[in-house]
Amino acid sequence: MTYTNFTVETDADGIALVTWNMPDKSMNVFTVEVMDEIDAIIDQVVGDTGIKGAVFTSGKSSFSGGADLSMIKGMFTMMLEEKEKDPDNAIQKLFDVAGRMTWLWRKLETCGKPWVSAINGTCMGGAFELSLACHGRVASNAKSVKIALPEVKVGIFPGAGGTQRVPRLTNAQDALQMMTTGASLTASRAKAMGLVHQVVEPDQLIPAAKQMIKDGLKPVAPWDEKGFKVPGGGIWTPAAAQLWPAASAILRRETHGNYPGALAIVKCVYEGLQLPFDTALKMEQRYFTQVLQTTEAYSMIRSLFISMQELGKGARRPAGIEKSDLKKIGVVGAGFMGASIAYVSAAAGIAVTLIDRDLEAAAKGKAVSEKLVADSVGKGRMTKEEGEKLLSLITPAADYEGLHDVKLVVEAVFEDRNVKKVVIEAVEAVLPEDAIFASNTSTLPITGLAENSRRPKQFIGVHFFSPVEKMMLTEVILGEKTGDKALAVALDYVAAIRKTPIVVNDTRGFYVNRCVFRYMNEAYDMLAEGVPAAMIENAGKMAGMPVGPLSLTDEIAVDLAQKIMKAYIADLGEGAVKPAHMALMNKMVDEFDRRGRKNAKGFYDYPPKPAKKALWPGVKDLYPQKKAEDFDIKVLQQRLLVTVALEAARTMEEGIVIDPREADVGSILGFGFAPYTGGTLSYIDGMGVKTFVDLCDRLAADYGDHFQPTPLLREMAAKGETFYGRFDPYAKKAAA
């Protein structure tokens, strides 16, 4: 038989090599067609008496990243359509679709012939669940091998047997940690946990897999053998009596009950280990069907899986413009941001001319990359040769002559209009006529900076977040005169350095900073009301934010927040900043010299390691304190999320952000807005715009007019609209 996505070759020993190699795809992914073909291949292997067993592997550099975008979208589309047509039967259909992969893998596992999975690269999600259903697993020891069940990160959980096979192969504690965090495992770690049988050199992968079959690999899973015992003794043991209460408590501490998928993992493992295997799979299928119907799963999959992939692949890139091949760029400004931008560019294989006022300053900027490389080599993430190659791509310089042949310059000098003006004019004097000038700025409007340019159509903003090497988001900002070519080149560059871009129109603070300052400002209001600082911080984390708003202020720097407020007042007048907020920043910086983490004292104290940071005792003296019981923790959580979501809605109303995918992805990647919500606009859509508007009205009555819903929100509430309905990101594409 011939297949579209697989080849099946049987050798002289009767071992079939099933190679997965999807045409026109850089990585193998599961589609309906792929699963149909796997189903047929299992039948072929079973039906051919000349085949003794089969090895399943990939013809690409990676094994598989899991489910395809279109299949996931199709599942949710089907669910919504069926609920409208036949609500009673919709859940049954979803249950059946959710179980397709589960029972296909079980068919392979019980087919009567041995299967070995030969894992040659990234093996994620359903691909690893397929591997777990094979009777043997061999992994390459290449650094590219990453094994994981990361579904919890997008709101669901390993629902194709993962929650049942993993804890039957390794101890329950390791199984829970792997699945509730979605952490990646190296091949050696997977072997130590008992999830992989062998780890071999890359060129020995297929021979080793075939040898397992030649050596008489039994075509029976351990849990299908009589007398099978769960590692660690199962649920009813003294060790388990200690594990399960602690596991539940840790999950509550880490997730605050916000992630149904994570909770379902714990339930599936606990219940499944007490059931016969096939019954356990049905139980898992039931929980998977339930989780798929939650707002959290729908929103997280849409934003963190579908939208993030679409934006990363250039959803906002202008059509008809040839892709840029950026072999060399210039970075002007070798301070921490510029130096880090040079590092990520060189890491992507792009040569960088790193310029500063003198060669010593430029070399100091390159030293940032040298330290990052040394750390990576020391931790085994990079070889010495790879590090040397990366560093060879960065050339420090003290003049602009090295920019005469670049297609893109990223300016990252001090956040001052006059300084940037001088740099813009000097760079453009040597820059090729068709090159693009990108300014990295966090607050200065791009249109104003572009007034210093001779070619504003080729001037654009590219706002990186610190630390650049870790933060996955980049804001691409359009000035009033920015042309499509500049946007296309900027997006090509962001894709090349493997960041996720969002495109926003020009405004002070752009999108992310406008939203994040609302989060911090609400905390300042709470402090003034007498809310204990610890309660504010806990409310933020309980709402789903990665850190509390006062801690975030410290990370950004208290004196930077003060400077930004002063700039707002200078440019927009006294009404641009609440006097109480300005007074608080002035007191923290000017009176107490508490500037944040950078000088080891802000709202928190930062003692030398290994001691942990702690809230500064003086915080309670900034305002008269009330008792914690005087406040409703739920309302505090709502205030912190609603104020940010309201600002996101304003940016849509003002046309700063025009695609809801970008508002959502930008809020999560930019400052960690409660990922379980799917982002700022999904938070509003998830509860319903009318419900959100009613909540805003209540908060405005109690806590101030900054909670007043915008006219757009009131209009959408009256019409029963959603942001993804009114601003459908796919409508233009469909019309075309």
Token pair 């199709």: residue = 74
> Do the Cβ atoms of 87 and 19 come closer than 8 Å?
no
Taking each helix axis from N to C terminus, what angle separates 260-272 and 172-181, rounded to the nearest 10 degrees?
160
Q: How far apart are CA 298 and CA 569, in angstroms?
A: 41
Residue 459 pairs in a beta bridge with 437
SS3 271: helix
Q: How far apart are CA 514 and CA 508, in angstroms?
A: 8
Q: Which of 135, 197, 463, 581 does the annotation list as catalytic?
A: 463
Q: How far apart are CA 99 and CA 494, in angstroms?
A: 38
Output the six-digit token pair for 271: 């219940």
> Do the Cβ atoms of 317 and 494 come closer than 8 Å?
no
In 359-480 the beta strands, taken as DSSP E runs, fall at: 394-397, 408-411, 436-439, 459-464, 473-478
Question: CA 481, 484, 485, 489 torsion: positive or negative?
Answer: positive
Token pair 């304003």: residue = 650
SS3 235: coil
How many CA atoms lie within 13 Å of 630's alpha carbon, on the beta-carbon side?
9
197 is an active site residue: no
Distances (CA, A) of 658 to 191, 450, 496, 548, 653: 47, 22, 24, 29, 9
DSSP per residue over 497-550, as a string?
A: TT-EEEEEE--TTTTHHHHHHHHHHHHHHHHHHT--HHHHHHHHHHTT-SS-HH
DSSP per residue over 611-659, as a string?
A: SPPEE-GGGGGTS----GGGS-HHHHHHHHHHHHHHHHHHHHHTTS---
Residue 60 dihedral angles phi and psi, to the nearest 5° = -110, 175
> Do the Cβ atoms of 339 and 368 come closer than 8 Å?
yes
Task: Compute how many other C-beta atoms are within 10 angstroms of the C-beta atom of residue 39.
Answer: 15
Buried b (16+ CB within 10 A) or exposed e, 391-410: bebbbbbbebebbeebbbbb
Residue numbers annotated as active site? 463
